[in-house]
Structure 1
Amino acid sequence: MTHLLGQLKRWRFTEQLVRLAWGGARWGAVVGAVLAAACLTDWAADRYLGSETWRQFLKDTWVFAPAPAPAAEDRWFTEHLRLHYGFRAPAAAVIDDSPKWLRVAMTGGQAALALVLAYYLLVRPWRRTPSVDELAGAAEEAIPEFGHRLVTALQLNRPTARTQGMSQSLIADVTREAGELSARHNLLKLVDYRRLALAALVAGPVLGGWAAYALAKPALAAVLLKRQLLLSVEIPRTIHLQNVSQDVWPTGAEVEIRYKVTGDYPRPWFTERLRAEHGFALAPPADGFSGRLRVEPDGQPEESYDLVYDKEVEGEPGAAYFVAKLPASSLDFSFTARLDNGRTRAPGRVRFEPPPQLSADSDALTAEQWLPKFLGTQPNGAPYVRKSDGGVRGEVTDALPQSQILVEAKFNKPVQKARLIPIVRDGVREKDYPDGPADFHAPRDTGADRKSAVWLFPTTEKTIGYRIELTDDRGFVNSVPIRRNVRMLDDRPPVVTFLPESDRHPDPTDFGGQGDPKVYEWGDRIPLAQGGRVMVIYNTRSEQGIGRANIAYRVIPRGVAPDAYPKEVQDIQHPRQDPENKVFNRLPLKPITADLTKVGKFVPDLGLFEKSWAGLSEPDRDRVNIEFYLWPSPAPDAVPGGLEAGGRYNFEIDGLTKKIPDSTGSFVNAKLEVGDTVELFVEVFDKNPTPGRAPGYTKEARRKIVVTPEDARIATQMRNVEYDRLQNKLRELAADQGNVFKEPKKELPKQ
């Protein structure tokens, strides 16, 4: 009996193994096929999601089409949050590989499928394996010799069998016969082993496929399996992209996105050779070494650009730069790139920042002129400052040579470098001055926050302006030129004017200093008698100050023809043509220093001080000379003195000589005679110390013909009579005009 039970139990265990093999083969085939499909889906999603074709497909669908970009009104709230609270909404997710939800769904689905199939293909068939009694019955059907002895022997020999009333010897005989029969037969031959072949046929292709793929690409197979376990690993690629782009760009600039590419990308050696050796570049082929860059500006629809080969990375064999050039913009954006099977794992980000520029303040750029030192300094030793109307905009007008321009600028952000470059005229062109670096290019003072600077630079006769160049901490330069004009004052000689000859008293409280000043004016008609004087009253002004003055004079002899003189003498008709004093003589006028508290105010139209004639007789008054008086500053703390000057000089003609040509071609000096003409100019130099400065002259000469004393007396009397008549006529006209506006007297009625 023991042998019979042993054979039946081994048969049942073998049946269980066969069932397990058959169910396991089907379970493995289905799970392996599904796993392969999931891995393929994961790889395909990683490879193709985000491609232009896929994204265009989504756009063409109604369900997956991206939402339109928000309008300006829709973006107002988010812009308000960003500007006032620094809140920025996260950028839209970029699906460029397998989404997490897809991987989780596939892994969860496979786990559920594996559990369900394990129950139906493994657990349930194991549990439904036939019992020993059922196997004994199957053996009796397969081997007729057993008859009903196997089942009967098994049932009668169980401890729970009800054998009361049955013959024990009969039971023993049945058991003995069943044991003898089972000893002669191997019951394991009744097992159906064909299911093992079917199991191998079902599971073989799937297992073989996985084995072949694991041998061919072990790294990729391992990564795909790990990703099905939801491990964070990246699918290996033959091309790798590294974003090396600049992340911050100046607002309004063209952006260049740059990637360093390594791996098995197609080497454009032929195109590179053409460009390097012949300067000829071919367009990148569609299936070669070009990719796509996807750009998503904030609040705007996405855009795509070509990512093209640029050049090899120096010092890194096998690496190359691929670039995409984007048009000028001011909207921040995110971007991703694809090149064959390579793509970026995380989106890049470009942010725009305003370049350095002047601030929006009204006084962002101001300029003032420090007058040259030859004009003097303020009482505290500081130079005089002159501000023009354009100074609030940084411009300077009427600038003097050898002056300095102080420029103050405020910026919209901290700057790392600020330079000021003066601009000068070079013929019809302009150039920077000087050509090389100079101390005044750098600021003389910079604000602690690096948002302001002060420059001081000198002017020249050719200065026409200046510009400011700014560089911030990121290396951005000012895109909008910061340029201002400097208009130099016309370099003119001092203006010199002859004032009318006058015998008016300079003291307005004196009887001779009252009344209409024109009564005392002679113009230039005071006659010049022998041994007399020429009254010279002059006024001069120059923005470059008045330095010194001369009287340039000559005598024109009566009765001598001009062609009697040599040609070089004939050509000299003005002092500016005679710097060597060949024809004209020069009498320096001595500067006068006066205490105004003692001599009174200066009277410009008389060239005298108010007290210059105090206590003097009329003959002595003609000998008072105020040769050269520089007018003091009306405001010593703001305006330099000496910009105007004037004086009065009684030019003595006694002792003057004239040059008369003789027959030998030389000159003979002779005394001044009646009929000769004395010609005078006032010559004035400014304070500019530059050598060779041209002086200024009175517009016309003052010419006096020498007459006899009697003729001079008669001319004076005639002038007095003429002026008396003029005064009487003026009084009559004034009276007539006054009567016009008076009401006529009414006559009383006669009684």
Structure 2
Amino acid sequence: MSLALQLRSWQFREWLYRAAWGFARWAVVVLIGLTAACTIDWLVDRVRDTPLALRIALTAAQLALYVSLAYLLLVRLHVPPIDALAVRAEHAIPAFGHRLVTALQLNRAGARTEGMSKELIREVTREAEEMAAHHRLSSLAESFRLWRAFALLLPVGLLVGAFAAYRTDLVTALVMRQCLLNVDIPRSIKLTNATPELWPAGDEVELRFDVTGPVSDDTTGTVTVSPDGQPSESFELSLIKRTDDGTAIFGTTLPPSSVRFTFRARVGEGRMRQPGTVSFEPRPTVKEIQAWVLLPAFVDPTGKNRYERFQPQGEVVALAESSVRIEIATTKPVTSAKLVLLARDAEGKENEVRRVDMKIDEQGDKAGALFDLPPRANGYRVEVKDKNQFANTNPPRRGITIMADDPPRVNLLTEVLKNPDPAVDPGPLDDYEVTGMPLGIGGQVQVGYAARSPLGLSRAQIVYRVNDGPWSQLPLKKTDADESKLGKFIPELGLFTKSGDAGHVEFYQIPSDHPDSEPSGLEAGGRFNFQTAALVKTGDDGKQSKLEIGDRVEYYVEVFDRNPAPGRQPGRSESRIKTVVTQSQLQAWLSERDQSRDRLKQLEERQRGVFMKKKPQ
């Protein structure tokens, strides 16, 4: 190998060793710088998202550092020139003397060799080449730089490489983030927000988070809550339960609030990637309840109408077998409205017996429902929900009272001998009263009665007996009268104005003054002239005979309501007993009654005169 070639080979090896040493130092700086930047990113990201400005600054600083060092350590290697290498060779191999440097200088193009023997130059060059042929000049290169490079780069590279192999996903993500790529840093604990964004105003808020990764039962976390316009506050998170798939549910309960807030949670090294938000919306409330009772269909004598009765404040008082109509108004539109019907069981305990869906109007803030009363109903409550499925708290409750299923109320009228026409017999009713009048033999008994039932009245009958004999029934016929011809019906007399002295009205259903809102026939009455001439009595020997002086006729009136259910009990009046007397005894009773009445009138006039005397002046 020629001398020049050996020197160039030596020079290349010098460049190679210096490049390796420069690269090792540059690579170590890159690894350390990248590790430092990734560590900063990782630490900041544990608490919050690393700001983009910080990421850009870290990346820019690294690029500036790496480029500068690359220029200093890889470009400017300071490789010695050939002449310097020749000098080093002469020092390393004394046998060269000065032949190596001399040969190089005299054989270089443009060398000043005037006056010098060319033969001598060739001889010096030959001797230098022969001596160089016996040595490997490249072995004189500074190889220690290569070993230094390995000694510096190997431990750092092994350490970084081992960690990269152990957490490839983490290292990959961190490096990609140094390239300003939007990649999340993987954590051993992953935390996901499971809290609904909308909550009812004024309610406690339950923050919930799904946590995966190595967390023990006593692991705790922290959530920082930042209400709008208020200082932040931190709360401790604790384990609530674990799901079947191993997910740990962490959470905490915040005090009631109605102010929107954001929050960030952290458990171990896991945290929320984005802040959570909780907003509030008021729950719906029922601001008005109105109720109407629909009377049973049989209450209307025509069977066509279901009469309604308004129930103040929604408190229902109804007859059995009635229906109820409820209308409500809410403070906001709702998507669900239900009536929860309540009833007491045999032990008196209140239970829910039925739920009735209410029909909601187009605006959503009004609803209504119609339902039949369940047995033993004693109340109802109204439950509503809005589009967020927020239900009203403390649903309003109203009572239901089912009226006692009493038979009709029946009363016997005062017996009077009065023409119902006031033009014929003027004056108060007491002037004509003959209650207690005995029964003249072969005469008639004045049976006047008045009855009322909220279920309406359907029919009536007189029940009578002679002495202690068996009871008999005398059905009363329904009276259909034209008041324009007979005049107004007078309930206290049981007759029409134009019925006359011997008027006869068996069973008259009094029409309603307001037929659109009140059914007819809730009240009824009449006056029946009960003829006794045909009555017979049964003696002790079983033989029947006509009534005699001293016999007694006992009677009362029964009235039935309109409820078609079998076995209905009628309403019953008090009973009266009439003793059979002679006509003269009857006249004597009437005379005594008139005399007593006259004496009473005279006494009243005298008393009036005493109290009306003028005082002396």
1:14 & 1:321 partners in 2: Cα distance? 61
Q: Which runs of 5+ in 2 are unaligned?
A: none
1:302 aligns with 2:234: yes
Alignment match, 1:59: none
Alignment match, 2:182: 232
Superposed CA deviations along residues 234-285 of structure 1, whole A, max 9, x for unmatched, are 4455666666776666664785846485xx769xxxxxxxxxxxxxxxxx64
SS at match of 1:501: coil
- What amino acid is aligned across from residue 315 of structure 2 in structure 1? E
SS at match of 2:422: coil
1:704 to 570, 578, 591: 578
Question: Could you tell me how far 1:420 is from its partner in structure 2?
Answer: 3.8
1:323 to 225, 242, 249: 249
Correspondence 1:425-440 to 2 at 5 A: 425-429=344-348
1:159 & 1:461 partners in 2: Cα distance? 129
Question: Could you tell me how far 1:344 is from its partner in structure 2?
Answer: 5.4
2:453 & 2:337 partners in 1: Cα distance? 37
Alignment match, 1:395: 315
Correspondence 1:203-282 to 2 at 5 A: 203-216=153-166, 218-236=168-186, 252=203, 255=206, 257=208, 259=210, 261=212
1:721 aligns with 2:583: no
2:432 to 504, 520, 529: 520
- What amino acid is aligned across from residue 296 of structure 2 in structure 1? P
Question: Could you tell me how far 1:232 is from its partner in structure 2?
Answer: 3.0
Superposed CA deviations along residues 401-424 of structure 1, whole A, max 9, x for unmatched, are 222111223456666655445434
1:460 & 1:692 partners in 2: Cα distance? 21
1:659 & 1:462 partners in 2: Cα distance? 48
1:350 & 1:322 partners in 2: Cα distance? 22
Question: Could you tell me how far 1:460 is from its partner in structure 2?
Answer: 5.5
Alignment match, 1:492: 406
Alignment match, 2:19: 20
SS at match of 1:202: helix
Q: Is the 8 A contact 1:552 1:584 kept in 2?
A: yes
Alignment match, 1:605: 492
Alignment match, 1:532: 443
Question: Could you tell me how far 1:596 is from its partner in structure 2?
Answer: 0.9
Q: Is the 8 A contact 2:99 2:125 kept in 1?
A: no
- What amino acid is aligned across from residue 28 of structure 1 in structure 2? A
2:326 to 407, 420, 428: 407
TM-score by length of 1: 0.70
1:212 & 1:499 partners in 2: Cα distance? 115
1:638 aligns with 2:525: no
Alignment match, 1:170: 116
SS at match of 1:534: strand
1:373 aligns with 2:292: no
Alignment match, 1:569: none
SS at match of 1:109: helix
2:61 & 2:366 partners in 1: Cα distance? 66
Deviates more, 1:486-495 or 1:464-473: 464-473
- What amino acid is aligned across from residue 448 of structure 2 in structure 1? I
1:119 & 1:687 partners in 2: Cα distance? 113
Q: Sequence identity of aligned pairs in percent?
A: 38
1:683 & 1:528 partners in 2: Cα distance? 22
Question: Could you tell me how far 1:301 is from its partner in structure 2?
Answer: 2.3
User: Pairwise CA RMSD of aligned residues?
Assistant: 3.9
Question: Could you tell me how far 1:13 is from its partner in structure 2?
Answer: 4.0
Question: Could you tell me how far 1:525 is from its partner in structure 2?
Answer: 3.3
- What amino acid is aligned across from residue 29 of structure 1 in structure 2? V
Superposed CA deviations along residues 13-39 of structure 1, whole A, max 9, x for unmatched, are 443333222222222222223333444
1:424 & 1:639 partners in 2: Cα distance? 29
1:24 & 1:433 partners in 2: Cα distance? 84
Question: Could you tell me how far 1:540 is from its partner in structure 2?
Answer: 1.4
2:40 & 2:551 partners in 1: Cα distance? 122
Alignment match, 1:654: 533
Superposed CA deviations along residues 648-686 of structure 1, whole A, max 9, x for unmatched, are 222222232233334xxxx44333222222222122111
1:463 to 367, 373, 377: 377
Alignment match, 1:682: 557
1:633 & 1:542 partners in 2: Cα distance? 13
Q: Is the 8 A contact 2:221 2:236 kept in 1?
A: yes
Deviates more, 1:216-225 or 1:242-251: 242-251
**Counterparts in 2 of 1:401 and 1:221: CA distance versus 1, 3 Å:** closer
Question: Could you tell me how far 1:387 is from its partner in structure 2?
Answer: 0.8
1:526 & 1:369 partners in 2: Cα distance? 46
2:549 & 2:210 partners in 1: Cα distance? 102
Question: Could you tell me how far 1:632 is from its partner in structure 2?
Answer: 1.0
**Counterparts in 2 of 1:190 and 1:175: CA distance versus 1, 3 Å:** farther
Question: Could you tell me how far 1:526 is from its partner in structure 2?
Answer: 2.6
Q: Is the 8 A contact 1:554 1:678 kept in 2?
A: yes
1:509 to 398, 420, 423: 423
Question: Could you tell me how far 1:9 is from its partner in structure 2?
Answer: 4.8
**Counterparts in 2 of 1:142 and 1:160: CA distance versus 1, 3 Å:** same
- What amino acid is aligned across from residue 449 of structure 2 in structure 1? Y
Deviates more, 1:25-34 or 1:684-693: 25-34
Superposed CA deviations along residues 421-448 of structure 1, whole A, max 9, x for unmatched, are 543433233577977x9xxx445x5434
SS at match of 2:539: strand
SS at match of 1:670: strand
1:706 & 1:247 partners in 2: Cα distance? 92
Question: Could you tell me how far 1:136 is from its partner in structure 2?
Answer: 4.8
Question: Could you tell me how far 1:634 is from its partner in structure 2?
Answer: 0.7
Alignment match, 1:194: 144
Superposed CA deviations along residues 522-569 of structure 1, whole A, max 9, x for unmatched, are 3x1333222222222222111111221222222227xxxxxxxxxxxx
Q: Which runs of 5+ in 1 are unaligned?
A: 51-94, 267-283, 313-318, 558-581, 614-620, 746-751
Q: Is the 8 A contact 1:541 1:643 kept in 2?
A: yes
More strand as a share of residues: 2
Alignment match, 1:593: 480
The count of corresponding residues between Structure 1 and Structure 2 is: 607
1:378 & 1:260 partners in 2: Cα distance? 71
Question: Could you tell me how far 1:633 is from its partner in structure 2?
Answer: 0.5
1:121 to 70, 73, 78: 73
SS at match of 2:465: strand
1:628 to 507, 511, 530: 507
